[in-house]
Chains A and B, each alone.
Chain A
Amino acid sequence: MALAARDPVIVDLSLVTGVVALILTAAFILLAVGVRLRVAGRAKAVARIEALWTPVLVAAVRGVPDALPSLRRSHEVAIVTLWNRFTDTLTGAAREHLVELARRCGIGDAALRRVRRGSGQSRLLAATTLGRLGDERAAPALHDLMRSRALVVRAEAARALVRISPLEGTDTVAALVAGWDDCHAATAVAILEDAPPLRAAEALGRELQATDDIECQLRLVDILGSVKGWIGLGPVRDLLGSTAEPELIARCLQVLRQHRQPDDAPLVRRFLHHDAPFVRVQAVAALGRIRAPGDEWRVLAALDDREWWVRYRAAHALADFPRISRRYLELVSHVHPDRYARGALQQVLSEAAALG
């Protein structure tokens, strides 16, 4: 304080800083109030628009009415959002009627305009809308959006492109998605949700063969595992048969485990004695799910594994084999030479008994 008393510059600076801070505070408060009022005003306007358009959309589900309200530019976002909400939940003829309504009242044109020139959020909305409309005019703008830094923008644009052009779009998007290292498999699966499964599997399989990047391969394995109808498993099996990378092997085994195809058992068995314990865990778990005849003895042998998790997983897998009786497991849980194996089996039996 003596410093402040001696040096008027510090006092003046402090006063100025305080005043600036108070001005900033006032500005922030006005901004917060402004945002709140704008949000509240927008919510009221949206409620009015929805009150007008909801009956129209409900009627359009059965057939597009002749008389439609006009689409005012200031109402576009609200109407397009409402339209998307309806379309999201409908399929078949109802959806086709809504698509026709969108074309007749200019929703498609509005979306096209916004996808080319709108703000972040309205471009996203526009991309989704154009995808649902299957509007090919949007393709150049969507390709543009797929170069965005924001993953959410790229993902929506890619999804829309797949909907507009199922075959070529799938090829394009699969190639791009493989290279997006910020795109998790789950997001990629959502992007390719509407892609023809066979085309998606072929395109992703090509990408899987073409890349050496392990992170990319891991991602592609997960995506292929989620392609509808198990069509994606072919490339996964091919990779499993050719790679020596433990993490990739484990991931491929995980995918095969989820799909439980009996024909995969011979391939899975090869990894029961792999050096990496986490690979052996996945192999045992996969055999426990596939349950091919004779594999119960291989899984039983895994109770002797030197790694605790392998023994633990083997115990759980054994309990699921229909050919292994509870009495037999009880016997093994008492006589097995390894205490960890005994413990794991006793837990499995005990838990099963508790759950009835």
Chain B
Amino acid sequence: MNPGIVVGEWLVLGYFLGLHLTYIGLNVLAFVSISRSTLRRFGARPPTDPDLMPPVSIVIPAYNEESTIVASVLSVLQLTYPNFEVVVVNDGSRDGTLAALAAAFHLESYGEAYRDRVRTAEVRGFYVSRRYRNLRVVDKENGGRADAINVGVNAARYPLFCTIDADSLLQRESIERVVMPFIEDGRVIASGGTIRIANGCEVRDGFIERLGMPSRPLVIFQVMEYLRAFLFGRVGWASFNGLLVLSGAFGLFRKEMVIAAGGFRTDTLGEDMELVIRLHRTMRKRRQPYRIAYVPDPICFTEAPEAWKDLGTQRVRWQRGLGESLQMNRGLVGRGGVGLFSYPFHVVFELFGPFVEVLGYVLSIVGFATGAISGRAFVAFLFVSFGLGLAYSASALVLEELSFHVYPGLRELGILMAAAVAENFGYRQANSWWRLVGTVKHVRGSTASWGEIERRSAWQSASPGTPATPASDAEPRDVAPSPS
């Protein structure tokens, strides 16, 4: 027997054991963490004194969002958080995004004392809304999403800022939930929450009125995938400060820490993940105590791709973003729990794991077809890979039932479980392939782009609904920066 083959086989076995032992560990941590947060949610009274709630700047980057931007901004203005401002950054849109904003919100130009603490593309102008005093719009030359967010960070007036995609749907109390880690623990520098899929939900005035299950199987597979990823994956990683990614759809950051780390990088597709890893690296280098927190509550809904092609584009992009983020922050290796465990895990199992997975699928099928492996061995391989995948999905459903039960009926539970079975016949394999392609493209360094994803949801192109109540005309909220 060729020694190379023997070594390769042991590596695959080692890969398999390492991966699943980690997943089991994350599951256990997630159960403990969610049980604790369940009790807290039962009795928790949100802090009621507005003066003691840290003010938040909400940054919304927008590029060619003419048909959706007004609805998105209106829904954000209806959030129940007591003290926030909204900064929309028009990233050199070629359509009527700025005009739509100007018309809907009665924008007036003014001169901002703008400091580009993070270097960005040129800023063309600043506008304030006469109708909503806590809304400002910044117009700039096109520079990409990350560049637009950096402008928002520069322009933000409050010590905490959050980034929201223009197509994200928040809950009215989303900010209250995601700000709680900052209130409870002064070491927190960033926090994020669970992203759920909006497809199939009823949306009104930019908020989810009724949760529903999507009708397309491809999207249902993604619902199941998000449950696994968020409910046990991220909760588990966050429990020992090993979280490497907060979703780009919604994350809350301490502004001065982000500026100290250099802001969002504009040369990567995974700017959100890259920033979080860089924050870990920066704080570890400084030897400062810190925490990157995660709130398991569902706080944000986003539209998932409904076509295979779009999903593939998205997954390839995510994988490339992962590769870039990890490569750009190699200095994190060996630093603390995140550098000893989380970072290597993501390199081995998330970045290069698809090679092992695809190889495993191909070799097992070819081996069985050619008789190189016995039927018994083939069945064993299938049993283990499907069985464990099903177990993780089922445990995510239990976590969901013990905590949030977002989907209303038993029928939805049945659909999700059926999806957990069906996804093993094509969806998982496609995902592994896309991730492999993404890693290959990253390694080869080919030109990256976001691509275009078709938006199908009706609410995306709805005209603005009921106008939100304008902010009070009393004196502007004027809070000095925090000492730290």
Contacts and interface: CB of A to CB of B under 8 A. Distances in A.
Interface string B265-295: 0000000000000000000000000000000
Interface string A339-356: 010011011001101111
Contact of A21 (B115, B390, B480): B390
Contacts of B22: none
Among A1, A4, A28, A350, the most chain B Cβ lie within 10 Å of the Cβ of A1
Given A31-B401, A347-B111, 7 more contacts: A1-B9, A4-B380, A18-B388, A21-B388, A153-B39, A186-B183, A281-B480
Contacts of A47: none
Nearest to B8: A3
B133 A355 contact: yes
B13 A3 contact: yes
Contacts of A226: 49, 51-52
A148 to B, nearest CB: 10
A121 B402 CA distance: 14
A15 B390 contact: no
Interface stretch (B240-248, B324-332, B368-376): B368-376
B398 A1 contact: no
Contacts of A124: 39, 42-43
18 contacts: A3-B6, A3-B10, A4-B9, A5-B373, A21-B390, A21-B391, A22-B390, A25-B390, A31-B398, A32-B398, A33-B410, A35-B402, A120-B42, A190-B47, A281-B480, A350-B112, A354-B127, A355-B133
Nearest to A222: B52
A184 B397 CA distance: 33
Contacts of A182: 184
For B410, B480, B483, which residue has the most chain A Cβ atoms within 10 angstroms?
Answer: B480
Contacts of A247: 483
Interface string A223-246: 001100000000000000000001
Contact of A19 (B43, B387, B402): B387
B391 A25 contact: yes
Contact of B42 (A11, A121, A312, A351): A121
Contacts of B128: 351, 354-355
Contact of B113 (A31, A254, A343, A354): A343
Interface in A265-302: 276, 278-279, 281-282, 285
A259 to B, nearest CB: 10
Given A1-B9, A187-B47, A285-B478, A120 B39 contact: yes
B43 A152 contact: yes
Interface string B20-60: 00000000000000001001101111011101110000000
A151 B43 CA distance: 10
Interface of B: 1, 5-6, 9-10, 13, 36, 39-40, 42-45, 47-49, 51-53, 108-113, 115, 127-128, 130, 133, 183-184, 186, 363-364, 367, 372-374, 376-377, 379-384, 386-388, 390-391, 393-395, 397-398, 400-402, 405, 410, 413, 417, 475, 478, 480-483
A40 interface: yes
Contacts of A281: 480-481
B282 to A, nearest CB: 21
A10 interface: yes
Contacts of A334: none
Contacts of B398: 28, 31-32, 35
Given A2-B5, A18-B380, A32 B397 contact: yes
A5 B51 contact: no
Interface residues of A, number: 79
Contacts of B45: 155, 187, 190
A124 B42 CA distance: 9
B383 A40 contact: no
Contacts of A303: none
Given A17-B387, A121-B42, A258-B51, A354 B130 contact: yes
Contacts of A250: 483
Interface string A74-115: 000000000000000000000000000000000000000000
A18 B374 contact: no
Q: Is the interface of A mostly helix, strand, loop or mixed?
A: helix
A20 B386 CA distance: 12
Contact of A36 (B367, B384, B410, B482): B410
A142 to B, nearest CB: 14
A313 B113 CA distance: 12
Nearest to B115: A308
Nearest to A218: B186
A136 interface: no
A17 B394 contact: no
Q: Specify the main secondary structure of chain B where it touches its partner.
A: helix
B481 A309 contact: yes
A320 interface: yes
Given A347-B110, A355-B128, A36 B413 contact: yes
A54 to B, nearest CB: 22
A37 B386 CA distance: 27
Q: Which of A18, A121, A246 has the most CB of B within 10 A?
A: A18
Interface in A144-189: 150-153, 155-156, 182, 184-187, 189
Given A10-B13, A21-B390, A153-B43, A186 B49 contact: yes
Contacts of A225: 51
Nearest to A223: B52
A217 B402 CA distance: 38
Contacts of B42: 120-121, 124, 152
Given A285-B478, A316-B478, A355 B376 contact: no
A215 B484 CA distance: 14
A320 B482 CA distance: 21
A211 interface: no
B424 to A, nearest CB: 12
B113 A28 contact: no
B108 A185 contact: no
A29 interface: yes
Contacts of B400: 32
B373 A1 contact: yes
A157 to B, nearest CB: 10
A15 B115 CA distance: 63
A15 B410 CA distance: 31
Contacts of B386: 18
